[in-house]
Amino acid sequence: MNVTFEKTDDLNAIIGIEIKNADYQDNLNKQFKDYRKKAKIPGFRPGTVPLGMVKQMIGKSALFEEVNRLTSEALYKHLQDNKIDILGQPMTSIDKKGETDFENYGDFTFYFDLGLAPIFDLRISTKDKLTRYEIELDEKEVETEITNLRRQNGKLENKDKSETENDSIVLIMTEVDKKGEHNDGGVFEQEVTVLPEVVKSKKVKKQLVGLSVDDKLKLDPFELFNDNEMVITQSLGIEKEAVEGLNKTFKAVVKEIRRVVPAELNQEFFDLVMGPGTVASEEEFEAKIRENLGSYYEAEAEKQLEAEINAMLEDNHKLVLPDTFLKRWLQETKPETYNAGNVDEQYETESVVLRKQLIREKIAEQENVEVTDEDVNQTSFAYTAQMLRQYGLNNPDPAMVQNFEAKNREDKNYLMRIRDVVVEKKVLDKVKEMITVKSKKLAVDKFYDQVKKFNDKK
């Protein structure tokens, strides 16, 4: 057996595998003999079936499997022994044609195209300077959070009149023509619930405050739903394609007005939000809210720092990939997702993720980043707890978290994804040690101004 490796450029190569009859004949004969011993063929006792008949029965399929096995083993052994990093998987070469001889049990030559991972050095040092923001809370933030929590846990009551932007209004909406008549084929008496405080148009917001049940008004649905196509389709019960043709005038009748009566600041409310017995007074509740907000904004600041680290790593390492090879590989391995019409656009996203992964792996290897079972277990538990909080369980019981985590682990890819999360976090923590990170205090609104500026640069 002979293996050849030829680089066509820095990012592409062709590997050749030559297999001769002597490489597979002994093992193939052994398979024929084993089959002969076990075969139950009418007219022959076990072990007496002629080898020629065995070859006719299983020869071609056995040869194919054996040659395929030898080719695969030789290919990946060469890559491993020579520490050749590839992207994607080897594909049958489009420039070099192989030779096969299944009919005569002859020699075989296969050629495969390879996409090579770029070779690069890390460019990270203390000259790279980033900022870790220390977000300063004011009393307004605490008061707003308490107000929101009281509303979220309040009671919904029907009212005769809308008095504030926080009142939700149930409208019966009908699409009309210039004469004010129902537009033939248009939206008719569709029930819609709107919240004035989320409407961006000052004119429409003003229309919605001070209304009484059974009041009639005219509304522009595009202004009412902030020109959000998805909200328009869901609210009016129409297809996405119908949005463009919508009339801009709708008649609306007020069916109901609903108001949230905020929850009272009592022990029942404290226990509901913080967990039974966690706080016992308004002062303790406010202190806990302040602590939770501090933790939240600290995590937000760290998330922003890590986003800026990832951007810095990308800027410092302009990796070039074997784009043509990878686009071909995506189309051949996932034809249901990638085709000639969309691969260029979709590859833009894929290549960003791949570059990030290559840089992360380089840092992990060079800086000896290790992941333990304990790291994975802790991250898995934290991930599951966070998932439950998103479903409204603010203080999930540890036993409940463990139960849900056990179900997550039934997905064979779950722990692999969690491990990737751990590796990324450890790599980012390592980079923080390698660069210069300075602290800067900022108010909440100023911090989010910085986040917006950063995102606008992308």
User: The CATH number of 129-137+282-457 is which of 3.30.70, 2.60.40, 1.10.101, 1.10.3120?
Assistant: 1.10.3120
CATH topology classification for 155-261 = Chitinase A; domain 3 (3.10.50)
* Residues 226-251: tens digit of each pLDDT: 999 999 999 999 998 999 999 999 99
- Looking at every residue in the chain, the average pLDDT score rounds to 91
- Terminal-residue alpha carbon distance, the chain: 51
Q: Compute and round to an integer the Cα radius of gyration of the chain.
A: 33
The confidence score (pLDDT) of residue 49 equals: 65
DSSP 212: B
Burial class (CB in 10 A: 0-12, 13-18, 19+), 224: buried
* Residues 281-332: tens digit of each pLDDT: 999 999 999 999 999 999 999 999 999 999 999 999 999 999 999 999 999 9
pLDDT band at 185 (very low <50, low <70, confident <90, very high): confident
d(CA 234, CA 228) in angstroms, rounded, equals 10
Instruction: Give ∠ CA 250-254-255 in degrees, rounded to 5.
Output: 120
Which residues pair with residue 190 across a beta bridge? 173
Token couple for 14? 């062709």
* Residues 264-290: tens digit of each pLDDT: 999 999 998 888 899 999 999 999 999
d(CA 218, CA 254) in angstroms, rounded, equals 11
Instruction: State yes or no: pLDDT of 357 exceeds 70.
Output: yes
d(CA 197, CA 205) in angstroms, rounded, equals 7
DSSP 161: B
* Residues 95-154: tens digit of each pLDDT: 999 998 888 889 999 999 999 999 999 999 999 999 999 999 989 999 999 999 999 899
* Residues 390-406: tens digit of each pLDDT: 776 766 778 888 999 99
Locate tokens 């590796």: which residue? 423
Instruction: State yes or no: pLDDT of 45 exceeds 80.
Output: no
Contact 340, 331 (CB under 8 A): yes
Residues shown for the chain:
458
The full set of domain ranges for the chain reads 2-116, 129-137+282-457, 155-261
d(CA 233, CA 236) in angstroms, rounded, equals 5
Report, as an integer, the average pLDDT of 190-213. Answer: 94
DSSP 36: H
* Residues 4-28: tens digit of each pLDDT: 999 999 999 999 999 999 998 888 8
CATH class for domain 2-116? alpha beta
Read off the pTM.
Answer: 0.75
Contact 180, 276 (CB under 8 A): no
% the chain with pLDDT above 90 = 78
DSSP 351: H
